[in-house]
Every structure is written in structure tokens, then in C-alpha cells.
Structure 1
Amino acid sequence: MIMNSPIIEDTYAEAFSTKAAYLLITAATKKLALIAATEATGFATSFIGCPAEAGINSYVPPEKTPDGRPGYSIIICQNKTEKVKQQLLERIGQCVLTAATTSVFNLLPDSEVQDNLGFKLAFFADGYQEKMELYDRDMYKIPVMSGDFLIEENFGIVDAVAGGNLFIMAKTQASALIAAEAAVNAIREVEGVIMPFPGGIVASGSKVGSKKYKFMHATTNEEYCPTLKDVVDSKLPEDAEGVYEIVFDGLTESAVKKATQEAIKAIKTIPGVIRISAGNYGGNLGKYKINLVE
């Protein structure tokens, strides 16, 4: 493998604490499972303007699922346990219960904090629900038009880490995009990590607050906008014309660190990348420092 030699800034991504649930959605086909997982993790790119940060972690083949059907694991994050519970109820109730042939399983059985999501959703059955032991788990069977919707009774909620990030600066927008896609593909191989933004790539990286508008919680990060290099005190290399950010959340700090290093390795294989950096706020945002240089 040919490695490029971009400058890797000796800096860190400033990550912060969050709460997370880790679920498995299965269905009769891989396509149906992906549809349900995609719907359940929609409108969840950033805490700045969304009710959660969520994403698909990985495809899980039939031989590794409780019911022997294809599935996708997802992670849903919020900053408080009660908010995670609310997001579980709304997202699974509206986006997975309504999806064809789906079942839902808990991937955090040993978590100290549990939410009885299955019990709550079972009331949709209007008294026809049935609690049973199935697949060595406590499950609820909810009769629906298409047959039965199956969901585990309890779902774990754990402390997690949000805000891992990388800035990719390249000679062209095309090379920056190719590098970003390479980073996304690498991170997808790391268990327990999600990238909540569209396709895993952030086109509109932001800064906290605004220099001009008091009502804005976040605005464009002008120091990294290629078209503003001649207007602001830019942090971009002179020949950088393409910039993308990758943001990722993980169930553990070690998972976020691994995702960072795997992404950097992948980015370094792409010609045209000039510099790799990350966003931090001097420790004002979160307690985790995810170093780019180990």
C-alpha cells in the first residue's frame, strides 16, 4: 500500500461524555433490516440541532443474530439517561415497529442501567401482547397486521464518548472527498462506533456560537473554509482547496481512539491530502483528549 505523507498535526479531538443505547434490528431480508435501521437513526447528526446523535454501527449476518436473520446494529446517544429512554421509545416505536418483519434486540445486556422499552411498546398491542422467553431472552410479542413484532423487554444504557473528529485538508475538493470516504470505510470496521452525519462525512463543519449573531448556537468554521482563505485569518495550508470533517461517537474511549488511528491510516493512502487535524476547544467542551499522534 502506497502511503501519502500529509502533515498530521500534534493536536487532539476534544470529545465529551454522553449516554448511549446499543441495539440490533433484524428482518426477513438484509434490505428490510437496513431500511428500519436507517429510519431509526434519521435526523440525528448533531446535538446542536437534533434530538439525538445516532447511526448504524455494522451489518450483522444471520449466523450472528439471535433469530438467525440478517440485521444491523445501531447506537443512539443523548446527554442524559432519561433522554435516551425517550429517544428509544420514539425511534423504535415510530420507525422500527412500523417497518416490515422487524425484531429488536438489546446489545448491552450487562449494563447497570436498563430501560424497559419492550414493556412500554407492548401496550400498542392493546391487551393482546404476550411476554415470553425466546432466544434465551425475555421478549414481548406484539401482534401487528403483518404478523408479530418481537422486541426484547429491557435495553441497556451506558456511558459513552461523543465528538471524536478529524479534519481532512487536501489540494482539491475531490481528493479531500476520496480521503473522507476512505476514513469512513475504515471507521465502519471498528466495533461500537458510529458516524452520525450523512454518509459519515461533515461538509459544513461548525464552530461554537457566532461572531455576529447572538441567537446562533453554531456557525460555519470560517477558518477552515477554502473560499474564505483571503478574507479571514485562515488555518488552511495555502494550497488546500478541499476540506471535510469526520465526526464519530463510540461506546468507549478506546473505541474512539482506535477509530481515529484507523481513519488516519486510511487517509494517508490518498494522494493530494496535505494535512490532518482535529477540532478542540481547550478543554471547555469535554474531558476526553483523542490525540492524533500516538
Structure 2
Amino acid sequence: MEINGVEIEDNFAEAFGIQVSRILVTAATKKLAKVAATEATGYGTSVIGCPAEAGIDCYVPPQETPDGRPGYIIMICNMSKKKLDHELLERIGMCILTAATTAVFDAMEDADEKFKTGHKLKFYGDGYEKVLDIDGRKIHSIPLMSGDFLVESELGIKAGVAGGNLFILAENQPAGLLAADAAVDAIKAVPGAITPFPGGIVASGSKVGSNKYSKFLNASTNEKMCVTLKGEVEGCQIPEDVDGVYEIVIDGVDEAAVKAAMKAGIEAAVKVNGVKQISAGNFGGNLGKYQIKLQELF
């Protein structure tokens, strides 16, 4: 199968279940909201080593937020509900409460359950906190030096999907980067999906375990997709005319969101000159229960 002359490999992305939270961060200005959202989603590329996978989902204009101010929806994900509860408390408490003029609202539709994150954070007010009603939501108002920090009492979570992915194989690194950047920009328009790696682009695609250091490594480089090892390793998966390979990893509130994001990313990537092939990463169906077949996206 080809799109715009680019081969879409008969392959699948292997994704797995994860617990997802989706919250809205607002502030007095779009810039301040972006600062808080960026801080709260830091150190959130992969649960291989990070305490969560996290990223900015989308911008929300003032006319669509509960407090009439600009905001960003962010997603924070973890395999464990207990760890996700902890991450929400720490990231909101240390990265958003500390940011100027911010407020936090629940943005998860059809939540499986709710965490009492705001209720826990209210104790920072040391007894001076108050309860407000904003747009029918129970909000804790916590006094700060600069004014009050507002946080919704409960934040919803649900079972989502992580590890959706696509590989961009291009004739050289610049073409691969342009295509990866275009894919990430396209995915930003898909609600309920994030690309948690830096700038949305994965430079370090990995495999489970290690060939040489299995005693202490849970993951290691995917040598079969390393351009500098092309021709040196057994089972190399890089075509002869490819010298630029990048991966895009996607987390979503459900499988539909991940599929929509993958489709949007592929459609954007294949428009870039120099892209030769679109593939995906999987572990033979042994890691996750979701097998998202590339050709079936179209």
C-alpha cells in the first residue's frame, strides 16, 4: 500500500493499557497557562524510566473554560492507579499551584473513577481555604501570596491506551525530522491524544530487555532500526536507501483517539519529500493487547 508514493508497511503498532488523567490548566494569560502546563508535564516521556507519561493535549480558548480564561488540557498517564494518584498530587502541587494565576479543572469525560486530588491539596491553605462553586463544579480556593489558587475537588481518570506509534523512514536525517515534526503538528489537532517524548519526536526507539546487559537493563536500543548500525547487525530492518529514522509515540484516552492520531501523523509525514516508508514498532503481540494495523487506518 502506498500514499503519496510512500510505502505504508503491512505492519502494526503494539499498544497497551494505561491509566489516564486529563486536566485543564487555566491562567490569566495564554502564556502563563502554557508555562504551567509545560512544567506539569515535564519528565514524562516513557514509563520505562519516568514516573509518568505526560504531555499537552490542546489549547482551550477563554470562552470554553469554566473560569473564562485561556487554558491548556494536559494528560498524565501511568500503569498504576496508585502511582497516577501520586503523580497528579505532586505535579499539580509542585508545578501548577506554584505557577502564577493558575487554576485546575477536571477535563476527563466518561471517567471510570475520580481521585480526590483537589481535596488533598486544599490542606496547603492551612485552614484558610474555601469552597467555591464554579460552573457547577466544587472548587477549593487556596490562598497564596499572589492570590488564590483554584483546584477542582475531584479529578477523573479512565483506562486509556499507550504505546501507539509510527516509524518514519526517510532518505536522510533532515527529511526524517521534517516529516516527524509535521506528524507531531498534525497529531496536536486530535483531541484526547498526546505525543509524550521531547517535542513529540522519539530519537531513541527501544526494545524490551537487552541482548548484552539483561541483568540490569529493562530496555535498550533497537539496534535493528539504528541507521549507524545498518549492515552491521543481524536482522537489520532499515532499507538501503534510508538514513533517517524517527518514531512518534502516542498515548490516548482510548484506542479510537490513538488510531486517529496515528492516521493524522502518517498523512502529514508522507507529504514530506524524502520519506520512503512508514512502519511501526511491535513485539510480536507479546507486550500489549492492542494491535493497530497501519493499512487498516485508511
Same topology, TM > 0.5:
yes
- What is the TM-score normalised by the length of structure 1? 0.97
- What is the TM-score normalised by the length of structure 2? 0.96
Partner of 1:220: 221
Q: 1:90 aligned to 2:100?
A: no
Q: Report if the CA contact (8 A) 1:14-1:280 is conserved.
A: yes
Identity %: 58
Q: 1:8 aligned to 2:8?
A: yes
Partner of 1:126: 126
| Greater mean deviation of Cα atoms: 224-233 or 117-126 | 224-233
Ranges in structure 1 where 5+ consecutive residues have no aligned partner: none
Partner of 2:276: 274
Q: Report if the CA contact (8 A) 2:112-2:159 is conserved.
A: no
Q: 1:246 aligned to 2:248?
A: yes
Amino acid in structure 2 at the alignment position of 1:67: D
Alignment of 1:123-162 (within 5 A): 123-162=123-162
The count of corresponding residues between Structure 1 and Structure 2 is 292
Q: Residue 75 of structure 2: SS of its match in structure 1?
A: strand
Measure, in 1, the Cα distance between the counterparts of 2:112 and 2:264: 30
Q: Report if the CA contact (8 A) 2:169-2:246 is conserved.
A: yes
Q: 1:287 aligned to 2:292?
A: no
Alignment of 1:30-109 (within 5 A): 30-108=30-108
Q: CA deviation at 1:112?
A: 3.5
Q: 1:191 aligned to 2:201?
A: no
Q: Report if the CA contact (8 A) 1:162-1:249 is conserved.
A: yes
Q: Report if the CA contact (8 A) 2:66-2:134 is conserved.
A: no
Measure, in 1, the Cα distance between the counterparts of 2:176 and 2:64: 36
Q: How large is the RMSD of aligned CA atoms in angstroms? A: 1.0
Q: Residue 14 of structure 1: SS of its match in structure 2?
A: strand
Measure, in 2, the Cα distance between the counterparts of 1:155 and 1:110: 12
Q: CA deviation at 1:110?
A: 4.1
Q: Residue 58 of structure 1: SS of its match in structure 2?
A: strand
Measure, in 2, the Cα distance between the counterparts of 1:18 and 1:237: 33
Ranges in structure 2 where 5+ consecutive residues have no aligned partner: none
Amino acid in structure 1 at the alignment position of 2:225: Y
